[in-house]
Amino acid sequence: MTAVLPELKQRPASGLAHVADDLLLMAETAAIFGLSGVQAAELRSALLAGDRVAAPVLARLGLEAPAAGIPPAPQIHPVRALALTVSQTCNLACGYCYAAGGSFGGADTRMGWDVAKRAIDQLIEATVPGGGVKIAFMGGEPMVARDLIRRSVTYANKRGATRAIQVGYSLTTNGTLISPKDAAFFARHRFAVTVSLDGGKEVNDRLRPDRAGKGSFKRVAQRLAPLLDHRDRISLGARVTVTPQNLDLSQVVDDIAALGFASVGVSPMISSPTGQGALAGQDFARLLAGMMACGDAWMSATLAGRAHPFANLATVLGELHRGSPRSHGCGAARDYLAVDAAGEYSACHRFVKDPLGAMGDLDNGPNDAARAAFLEARTVERQSPCQTCWARRLCGGGCHQEVLHAGRPACDFVRGWLDYGLRAYGRLNAVQPDWFDAQP
């Protein structure tokens, strides 16, 4: 594929470390060091020359890179978060939808109470008393199954209380069906609500039509008010699916923020079941440029003490500061499973009805052997292009579902974005180190 950034024209030869401005990222430990200008220049050229040249240069700085090996098989512990695919149907018909209109390629189905109840039982019973779990209501459009959501929350609270388990809730919705009563309910139970929106009216309506082909923007905007009224108790954010049609991210983020969202996150569409709307080729360069523009705006606002809605940079900065190297891109299969209407577990909400991510069913409980096998196979150390990539322990190998279905078309974008994130980290850490202390 075409290079995204001039300086990332080629994959760097060394996977030991990466230099961005005067920061050094150690690939294996995710530790970040400050360098002098001379050190940075020396290391940058050494890393381009490959591991054999880079290793002694690093060692001279007291930074022996630990050998990267296959990590021990992950411990399987009880799931801490569960997605209930309460409705496998949707009132919208977005062309790129991973659930293919909510049905995951099958007939429209809604989850029955029995399935939800048993899933909640299994989640709570497996959890250490006094612990906490999260339940995510997914779809389709979950608000189609409003009654089931309410019943599940009431039940999970009661069930959790008997074992002193705190249950947290989240919901991903297209926002078109939310009523004031729903918002009050979400507020009472402290939901985290993510509204999918793809941009301002024109852009959004093109990308997110209803089944009759009419745009959804106006309806969403009208339905937002009750959610915004409860902003103090609902953690509210917007999520943008980036396709070739809405790559003007600064505009997209501004348009959505204008609706009242304090947090807007973007995620690129890489694998779509229909093949429609996925990013490809030069799209990634535009995506990166757009995200960097949003990042610059976020940084200016933050340094000036103002809030900015662009969430992706804040997330990256927090992760870089935390510095915990990862072997998987996310918690799927390890901490998180999804349950569908048929009562089958899958590695996450995107693997519903996908044999590659099948993780057992409610009759037999989560299949821990399948989870272990999945995690071991998907560990980034086993991924062949990843082993020699400096970003492997930050990226974790990417989204399992995308990789299994679309490969890794976006690695240059990921490295470019992390390189940008590192530079931003150095800048913010130098000027406003307090920012990191304030992060949850």
Partner 1 sequence: MTGGPRQLNKARKADANGNPAYPQPVLGNPVSTLMESGVGNCFPGLEFDLRQLDVRFFPGLVFEFLGITPAGPDGTQGARLTYAFPKGDPIIADKYTDDGQAWVTDLKKQYAGPAGAALGSGTWYLHFVEQDGKRIMLYDYSLYQNGVGLVPYEGETAWWIIRLIEAEKPLTIALTQRAADGSPSGSPVVLTGRRRMFLNDEGMIDPVYHPGELTSSMCSPWTHDFRDCACHYWASNHPDVVLGEVDDPQQQLPDGTDKDDPAQAVTFIDWMRRRHLPLKDVSAQTTLEKARPDRYDPYEINLHWEELDFVLQGQESKGTTDLKKLQPQEPYEQLEELIEDLHELAGMELTLALEYLYAYFSLREPDGVTPEQEMAWPGLTEDVRAARQLILSVALSEMTHLRWVNQTLWLIYAAYPEMGSYEPVLSPTKIDAGPDSKTGHSGTGVLRPATQNVLQNFVDIERPGGDLDTEYVKLVAYLREYMDHFPEGLYQLAVRIDSDGMQHYQKFRDVKRILQPYAAQEALYLRPVQEAKPDSAEVQPALDLVDIALEALRKGYLIEANLGDMSVANAEIKTARDAMHKLSDVALSLARKNIGVPFFARLQ
One-letter amino acid of 251: Q
Q: Does 130 bind partner 1 (CB under 8 A)?
A: yes
Q: Does 207 bind partner 1 (CB under 8 A)?
A: no
39/367 with CB nearer partner 1:
39
Q: Does 158 bind partner 1 (CB under 8 A)?
A: no
> Who contacts 292 (Cβ-Cβ below 8 Å, separation ≥6)?
417, 420
Encoded tokens for 395? 């990226």
Q: Does 313 bind partner 1 (CB under 8 A)?
A: no
What's the closest the beta carbon of residue 129 comes to partner 1, in angstroms?
6
32/288 with CB nearer partner 1:
32
Look at residues 146, 149, 86, 156 and name the one whose alpha carbon lies nearest to residue 121: 156
> Who contacts 239 (Cβ-Cβ below 8 Å, separation ≥6)?
172, 194, 195, 196, 197, 264, 265, 266, 267
Q: Compose the 4-43 pattern: x for residues touching partner 1 by CB under 8 A, - for all others.
A: -------------------xx-x-xxxxxxxxx--x----
Q: Does 120 bind partner 1 (CB under 8 A)?
A: no
Q: Does 51 bind partner 1 (CB under 8 A)?
A: no
Phi, psi of 306, deg, nearest 5 = -105, 160
Q: What are the CA-CA distances from residue 365 to residues 67, 130, 146, 189 (Å)? A: 38, 22, 26, 27
Phi, psi of 346, deg, nearest 5 = -140, 165
238/259 with CB nearer partner 1:
238
Q: Does 164 bind partner 1 (CB under 8 A)?
A: yes
* Torsion sign, CA atoms 315, 320, 322, 327: positive
Q: Which residues, in sequence order, are bridge partners of residue 138?
A: 85
**Of the candidate residues 27, 46, 47, 81, the single one contacting partner 1 (CB under 8 A):** 81
- Ranges within 256-275 binding partner 1 (CB under 8 A): none
**Of the candidate residues 63, 111, 187, 414, the single one contacting partner 1 (CB under 8 A):** 63
- Ranges within 330-389 binding partner 1 (CB under 8 A): 330-332, 334-336, 348
Angle at 274 between CA 270 and CA 277, to 5 degrees: 45
Which residues in this chain contact partner 1 in the complex, by CB under 8 A?
A: 23-24, 26, 28-36, 39, 61-64, 66, 75, 77, 80-81, 83, 128-134, 136, 164, 166, 315, 319-325, 329-332, 334-336, 348, 425-426, 429, 440
